[in-house]
Amino acid sequence: MIPPDEPGAAAARLTGAAVQRVRPLSGDLAEVVLDGGRAVMVKRGDPRAVRAEAAGLRWLADARTVRVPAVRGAGGRWLVTDRVPTGPPSPEAAFRFGRDLAALHRTGAPAFGAPPPDGPREAFVGLAPMRNVPGDDWPAWYAEHRVLPYLRTAFDQGTVRPGGAAVVERVCERLPDLAGPAEPPARLHGDLWNGNVLWGADGHARLIDPAAHGGHRETDLAMLDLFGCPHLDRVLDGYQAAAPLAAGRKDRVGLHQLFPLLVHAVLFGRTYAEQAVAVAARL
């Protein structure tokens, strides 16, 4: 008999299907094969994070643009999604991904900071808390709800020193001048580093582990650039072909990277804090 707090039991309970086998992948993730041969991923986490991730995946899926694994069940500490058979990334798949990402962003959001329908206001980006507070003005919203909260936490931890904090604060004061042309809220993945892009064996990329919310579309692209993405030039080609970006985007990449860098400073320490301050100093 499967213990009740194990991935197999969670998969059976949330999908209503019997379990054939379980393959643990890490402390919080397992692959489970259900009766009929369907393979699913079973993930354990904070109940608030599970709710936010499930809502985010459904919101991205509703756009019918970039593909995401289907949510097969979510409840309590457990999330069950389809397993994605993966293959090597290719220039063709990268171009297609860029085009589809542009289409996802174009589907929009009610406001900057708007959570997915049924998604919680108190969400997560990775392991860090993230508040989804709606706003109409991107520079003011980005400073107040994406940069400064993590700067304060990193400062309180001693990860960012006073001089570095002052540099980042000056960037926030200058955000209206640095932000570029105004754009409507985009439907963002929100945590789009390369590890959250699965290159499907069918030639289509899938997005996993979203921190979905309404935001500026350049933020997703800047995160891909920050942590590396195979064939990024082709991703950007596909994006530009579908939805051209405003002039000067390259000058704004660092601005959009402040948010993930400061999140990483909070979670992982001084190296990311130093990188964030260096980016802010260049800005």
Selected catalytic residue, list 100, 191, 220, 225: 191
Question: CATH classification of 7-82, choosing from 1.10.1040.10, 3.30.200.20, 3.90.1150.110, 3.30.230.10?
Answer: 3.30.200.20
pLDDT tens for 13-39 read 999 999 999 999 987 999 999 998 999
pLDDT tens for 191-246 read 999 999 999 999 999 999 999 999 999 999 999 999 889 999 999 999 999 999 99
Q: Tell me the whole-structure pTM to 2 decimals.
A: 0.94
Return the H-helix or E-strand segment holding 50. helix 47-62
Active-site residue flag, 220: no
Domain ranges of the chain: 7-82, 91-282
pLDDT tens for 252-269 read 999 999 999 999 999 999
**CATH fold of 91-282, please?**
Aminoglycoside 3'-phosphotransferase; Chain: A, domain 2 (3.90.1200)
Which strands form 29-34's sheet, in the order they lie side by side? 19-24, 29-34, 39-44, 78-82, 71-75
* Residue 211 Cα distances to 21, 177, 225, angstroms: 30, 27, 17
φ, ψ of residue 256 to 5 degrees: the values are: -75, -20
The two tokens of residue 31 are 């692959």
pLDDT tens for 42-99 read 999 999 999 999 999 999 999 999 999 999 999 999 999 999 999 999 999 999 999 9
Q: How far apart are CA 179 and CA 256, in angstroms?
A: 9
Q: How far apart are CA 283 and CA 279, in angstroms?
A: 6
